[in-house]
């Protein structure tokens, strides 16, 4: 499972919009949409913040495996 797919699932579980996540992580508008559509990925420095916010490990976000239930 790609990073973008995992991010979308986690974002939706939190009830957040793409724009809300752009704002939360200090990103330019449309950045999360690009991640979710597989056009780009986050900067490495942002991974700890993303993982912490969603309560998952960086490993779970970045490896091509499904999220644990």
We report the CATH number of the domain holding residue 35 as 1.10.260.40
pLDDT of the residue at 28: 97
pLDDT classification of 55: cutoffs 50, 70, 90 = very high
The structure tokens 């495996």 sit at: 65
Can you give the residue range of the structural domain that contains 9?
3-62
38 located within any domain: yes
43 located within any domain: yes
69 located within any domain: no
Q: What is the DSSP letter of 26?
A: T
pLDDT digit string (tens) for 1-48? 899 999 999 999 999 999 999 999 999 999 999 999 999 999 999 999
Neighbours of 42 (CB within 10 A): 19
Model-level pTM?
0.91
How big is the chain, counted in residues? 69
25 located within any domain: yes
68 located within any domain: no
Count of structural domains, the chain:
1
């Amino acid at each position: 499972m790609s990073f973008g797919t995992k991010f979308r699932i986690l974002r939706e579980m939190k009830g957040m919009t793409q724009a809300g996540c752009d704002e939360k992580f200090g990103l330019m508008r449309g950045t999360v949409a690009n991640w979710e559509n597989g056009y780009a990925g986050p900067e490495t420095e942002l991974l700890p913040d993303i993982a912490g916010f969603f309560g998952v490990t960086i490993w779970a976000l970045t490896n091509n495996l499904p999220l644990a239930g």
